[in-house]
Structure 1
Amino acid sequence: MSNFSDFVHHHFDKAANELGDVEKRVLAKARERKVISTDVNAAFSADASFGERIADSIARIGGSWSFIIAFFAFLVAWTVINTVILMSGAFDPYPFVFLNLILSMLAAIQAPIIMMSQNRQAERDRFEAAKDYEVNLKAELEVLSLHQKIDMRVLTELTALREDVARLTAALSAKG
């Protein structure tokens, strides 16, 4: 346990009991030599409720060019049908009061759904930033660990070289 405490203090400059959940989780992954999952889509979507998934789908569709083009085509068709084709018996004659009602209802429903999706996107961005932090922290720990291993190797080699030099010096002084 002392070795672990020394490791924590050396790498985080604080005691093991002062670490946060993220640091503890990253340390556990580093000690187990496991990879931190970076698949944000799967991890974030796993916690989404049914309503959140629907809101994301509606926002994805409502914010696409295909929706804009299709809706523009619908508006053109509505206008042409009610002005040119059904001149005398139009079900929604100009100024298209029924169409305005439909558009108002669509906007009233679509606006909160888009806001929900934007909130989810903000949550996703925070989740992704937290995952990036975990990955970066683990990478930093691995780099520090490699530095420590290299330093230990260099110290071992220096000690061996000093012993060799001392032995050679003793051998030379014994001959001379």
Structure 2
Amino acid sequence: MAERRPRLDTPKEQRRQLIRTPSYDRDAFGVFAEQFARFMGTARFLMWMTVFVLFWVGWNTVAPDHLRFDNYPFIFLTLILSLQASYAAPLILLAQNRQESRDKVVGEQDRQANARAHADMEFLAREVASLRMAVGEVATRDFLRSELRTLRDDLVDADEDEVSTA
């Protein structure tokens, strides 16, 4: 007998996971990674790390043999520093990825704001141009003053002509 194929419109059976992945808050972990990366980029971290390494090397060089905790040429120190670096690198990368995501969002918001500002400037430029055209057809104050002076002068001349002919 032929093996019956499952129908495509029916959901697959849920498989039980043998190993459950731990649940965690992604945002809280991301914030921790950012704070950790920010701390590792400070002079304070470098200072404390230098003090730690100098103490380790000094103690395991000067202390009596029975009090030393890293008898071989600093193998345990190398292991600790490698372990610290193996955790630091992914945390720093996670912090950089989160920062990159935020930068993308801010960049998109800036692009949209620039597009709105550009559209507003184009609108205002068209409005100013239309106002200039409208003002070009309106008599200005200086033009009216010059016309009134001319009329006054004409009236004065006309009065003088009447007085001289009478």
Corresponding position of 2:54:
76
Task: Name structure 2 gaps, 5 residues minimum.
Answer: 1-25, 140-146, 148-166
Percent of aligned pairs with the same residue? 30
| Distance in 2 separating the partners of 1:159 and 1:86 | 102
Answering whether residue 89 of structure 2 is matched by residue 111 of structure 1, we say: yes
Which of 78, 99, 104 is matched with 1:121 structurally? 99
CA distance in 1, matches of 2:27, 2:134: 56
Of 29, 35, 38, 1:57 maps to 35
**Runs of 5+ consecutive residues of structure 1 not aligned to the other structure:** 1-47, 162-167, 169-176
Partner of 1:141 in structure 2? 119
> 1:89 corresponds to which residue?
67
Tell me the CA shift for residue 92 of structure 1. Answer: 1.4
What residue in structure 1 maps to residue 19 of structure 2? none
Q: Describe the superposition over 1:58-84 as per-residue Cα deviations: whole angstroms up to 9, x where unpaired.
A: 111112222122101110011111211
Matched residue, 1:173: none
Matching residue of 1:102: 80
Report the RMSD for the aligned CA atoms in angstroms: 2.4
Query: d(CA) in 2 for partners of 1:155 and 1:50?
Result: 61
Verify the 8 A CA contact 1:61 1:67 in the aligned structure 2: yes
Structure with more contact order per residue of length (Cα contacts < 8 Å, sep ≥ 6): 1
Q: Is contact 1:55-1:116 (8 Å) kept?
A: yes
The residue number in structure 1 matching 2:130 is 152
TM (norm. structure 2) is: 0.61
> 1:40 — aligned with what?
none
